[in-house]
Structure 1
Amino acid sequence: CNVMCLLLSLCNVMCLVLSLYNAMCLVPSLYNIMCLILSLCNVMCLVLSLYNVLCLVYNVMCLVF
């Protein structure tokens, strides 16, 4: 039940790190190419956050049943 959730939590940690890098990206700099890559990663992070919400619901169901 929780294996997917553990994997997603690892992905979420990556997402938090990426969001910190994204804050750096707001400053115009030489790292624009990195920012493009990070924006792609951010789209993935949004998808992962949706999966995480589903995961929380799934875990609650697992505890109840």
Structure 2
Amino acid sequence: MANVGQVIQLFYSVGLKQPYVINPDVLTDAHSVSLRYEAQMGDILQFMINFLDSLGLAMMEFIRLFF
């Protein structure tokens, strides 16, 4: 079992291999969650979107601005 913040960290660092920022409220949430993903279940991104939605959370994409 892991908390939501740990699951999100794993998802981004291993699954998507993209930089990420996690809301501090999510990081301090100590509720344990569990999930199981297998490749035949389809797109991992859509799986994570659905998982977070089931918890009342969402992923947001930010646009990088270079000056």
Same fold (TM over 0.5): no
Greater Cα radius of gyration, structure 1 or 2: 1
TM-score normalised by L of structure 1: 0.31
Query: Which fold has the larger relative contact order, with Cα–Cα distance below 8 Å and residues 6 or more apart in sequence?
Result: 1
Q: TM-score, normalised by structure 2?
A: 0.30
Q: Which has the higher strand share?
A: 2
